[in-house]
Structure 1
Amino acid sequence: MQKHVLVSALALALVGCSSQEAAAPAPATTAAATTVATATADPAALRKAAEELDRAATRRDTATAYGFYSQRCKSKIGTEETYGHMLDVFYDHRTPNYTDWVVKVNGSSGQVVTVDSDPSAPASAMDPRTWTFIDGRWQFDNC
């Protein structure tokens, strides 16, 4: 079976850093900063988000799939209903068969290559997709 690759992400956002010269930061603040830094660099979290988006979109669960999109993309797409129509067109006469998600993370940017063995996948399935870590979670930002 011919494999097509659906690429799900190269985010171009930068992680902001600041140094604070506080006398003694509270332990909760230090723990929270460590958690966020770890989460932004966590390939497993990005892979899980990409897989959940792909599976939700495939089964036309528009509410779940649309929830993975960044606000920037939602503003360009419009309503969840419009997004549902886009999914209908994208998956028309297709039976996606996702077999793998290959992830690379660099700070708040990530790449996910979703391997789809569906022979009916469009040429655009080879286009890179963008994901960005925003507000404590990975968001699809390819718009």
Structure 2
Amino acid sequence: MTRTNRSVRALVAAALPALLLCGCGGADSGDSSGPSAEALKTDATAYANALADHDYPAAYQTRSARCRLTLNQDDFAASMGQKYDGRDLHTKPAEITVTTSGETGQVTTKNFDAKASEDNPKPVKWSFIDGKWQFDNC
């Protein structure tokens, strides 16, 4: 019996640090909902709203580090300005459709303004990186 108690205590002592780490990760681990479709839709909507507000630096912040290496913030802002300046995307908000598979997502955004037909209707890739969804279509 004593041998069993020691074995149980040893197992509990070995497992305790791992259990504590799992239980305390919420505050610093990013999005607590994980790579869910709901979280992706929230982040994709924030991206679409930043574009609608012509806040291109905020939209740029949603890009993955890999995408930031391919295009700096100034060039991104200039490109988005050519595409979205003068467009009223607030009259009817974008329709955003998402699908997820693990830590990869696809986002389709449909705008309804006069220039909506010029938008690319194909889904774009997002990835769940460092606890949050990031635009990763570069």
TM-score normalised by length of structure 1: 0.70
Find the counterpart in structure 1 of residue 97 from structure 2: 102
Shift of residue 43, structure 1, vs aligned partner? 1.2
- Choose 1 or 2 for highest CA Rg: 2
Q: Which has the higher contact order (CA 8 A, sep 6+)?
A: 1
Shift of residue 122, structure 1, vs aligned partner? 4.4
| Distance in 1 (alpha carbons) for counterparts of 2:121 and 2:81 | 19
* RMSD of Structure 2 on Structure 1 (CA): 2.6
Aligned residues: 120
Find the counterpart in structure 2 of residue 137 from structure 1: 132
Q: Deviations over 1:61-101 (max 9, x none)?
A: 122111100011111112x2211101111114533343422
TM-score normalised by length of structure 2: 0.73
The residue correspondences of 1:1-143 to structure 2 (distance < 5 A) are 23-24=14-15, 26-31=18-23, 32=25, 39-78=33-72, 80-96=73-89, 97-143=92-138
Structure 2, gaps ≥5 residues long:
1-13
Identity rate, percent: 31
The structure that is helix-richer by fraction is 2
Contact 1:69 1:139 in 2 (8 A): yes
Structure 1, gaps ≥5 residues long:
1-22
Distance change >3 Å, CA 65–CA 105, structure 1 → 2: same
| Distance in 1 (alpha carbons) for counterparts of 2:74 and 2:30 | 33
